[in-house]
Structure 1
């Protein structure tokens, strides 16, 4: 592949992951930030405004994904997932319950949006103060 072919390929590639830096700040490290970003992706409406979440229990939407499923989506290995999801749970950003999904034991993940928004606002406020040179 020539440099020009590479540039053309790069521009046309849809094999990307969109991660906001604040998600990394909220999560505390890059792997947990990527995982948080992907979890948030699944809870956002699709381009038609439709919900992507299909599992609903007691009125709460859940993302059903096994620890081995994340590699294909965002290159997070199962042990990295274990560590990252624990960090997100400790921060209260996500809640996870194990259940049967398609006859297979599967983690069901939901987002605590109240805590997520609070942590995003706190992280953005901290960056704003740093950018202005304020002491924290």
Structure 2
């Protein structure tokens, strides 16, 4: 007769009971992912909303946030704190913070908290409400299929109150903005090679890869491309 195990392996029914009873969850609405344009940033935004909302059985004006500075409410969280909250590593939390800042959804400052320099986060409520309303007015089937209206996409990539940290980011943001404005007809208003001028006139600038041996001729008032052939000298 084989000895009985002191701790028998639980079967799936034990897991079902645990799943029903546990409250170790993250409440996430998909609209926050749509607003942030990224899954990890959307999870962080959802958690920020949780802290901003009032406690249960409290008035709507009540909130879980207790830090007030510069006329707004702040949440103090270091990048390491986000693992305990929503299972984001410090590197992932940093990327999510940058995404939310670039979308104009949040403002970040570093101040002392418990005598340690800590990142403080505040939701830009006007910007938040703008994107929330736009997405609510987008048909659900379009959002679920990834078809977001162009004006919402432009709002998502618009950089409000912050600057990209490098020229590459600035170039990427500019390219993404042009792509979002693009339509179907090439050579028309939807052409990504169109640039809006200060006098509201649209002019076309074609970016062309020149064959070897040709150079652009940037003469005043003349944007045409002329050919400058390279001449091979006879060998001596």
Is the TM value for this pair above 0.5? Answer: yes
CA-to-partner distance for each residue in 1:54-100, whole Å, 9 max, x for gaps?
Answer: 11113311000101000011101111111111110111110011101
Higher alpha-carbon Rg: 2
Query: 2:88 matched to which residue of 1?
Result: 76
Q: How does 1:4-19 map to 2 (within 5 A)?
A: 4-19=13-28
If each structure's helix is expressed as a fraction of its own residues, which one has the higher value?
1
Q: How does 1:1-136 map to 2 (within 5 A)?
A: 1-49=10-58, 50-128=62-140, 130=142
**1:129, distance to aligned residue in structure 2 (A):** 6.8
SS of the counterpart of 1:76? coil
Runs (4+) off by over 6 Å: none
Aligned length: 134
Name stretches of at least 5 consecutive residues in structure 2 with no aligned partner.
1-9, 150-236
Name stretches of at least 5 consecutive residues in structure 1 with no aligned partner.
none
**1:4, distance to aligned residue in structure 2 (A):** 1.3
Tell me the distance in 2 between the aligned counterparts of 1:130 and 1:63: 33
Length-normalised TM-score, structure 2: 0.53
If each structure's strand is expressed as a fraction of its own residues, which one has the higher value?
1
**1:125, distance to aligned residue in structure 2 (A):** 2.3
**Greater RCO between the two (CA within 8 Å, min separation 6)?**
1
Alpha-carbon RMSD? 1.9
